[in-house]
Structure 1
Amino acid sequence: MKKDEVPYGSDVSAGSYACADCGYEYANQSKRSLPPCPDFKVIPHPKRAWKILTGAGDAEQDPYPNGR
């Protein structure tokens, strides 16, 4: 089953993502760890995750940051 959301710090494929808490959209053109939402310190972000809009989401080699 494909996940709908990936936590901050996940290694992901290229695609677009939206903050699961506030909806801020972020596009990633290469594999890299997803940063925290830029509005993280402005409003509460209890999910601390990105919703996958396009792309494959989490990289199979590193499905969760910090061993989650």
Structure 2
Amino acid sequence: MQKDSVPYGSDISAGTYACVDCGREYSGPSQSSMPPCPDFTEASHPLKGWKVLSGQGDAPQDPYPETSGK
């Protein structure tokens, strides 16, 4: 099952994503750690994640970066 959004730091597949806080779009290859939004500030980005527009989103082998033990 594909999630609608992924938190910063997630392993992701190639695709297009939009910041859940400001809507800024990001497209790129698979990554082991999704970066934060370039416009990120604590005050303006409380959700700290990306909405999956295309692609598979969060990698199933590492679905929650804060609990992966890396």
TM-score, L = length of structure 1: 0.89
> Secondary structure in 2 aligned to 1:66?
helix
Structure 1 counterpart SS, 2:66: helix
Aligned partner of 1:11 in structure 2 is 11
Deviation readout 1:4-57 (Å, 9 max, x if unpaired): 000000000000100000001001223331100011128611110000000000
Question: Counterparts of 2:39 and 2:17 in 1: how far apart (Å)?
Answer: 14
Gaps of 5+ in 1: none
SS in 2 for 1:11: coil
Relative to structure 1, the CA distance from residue 60 to residue 20 in structure 2 (aligned partners, 3 Å threshold; closer, same or farther) is: same
In the superposition, the TM-score normalised over structure 2's length comes to 0.86
Equivalence map 1:1-68=2 (5 Å): 1-41=1-41, 44-67=44-67
Distance (whole Å) between structure 2 residues aligned to residue 42 and residue 33 of structure 1? 19
Q: Hey, which bits of structure 1, 4+ residues long, moved more than 3 A?
A: none
Which one-letter code corresponds to 1:65 in the other structure?
Answer: P
User: Which structure: greater strand fraction?
Assistant: 1
RMSD: 1.7
Aligned length in residues: 68
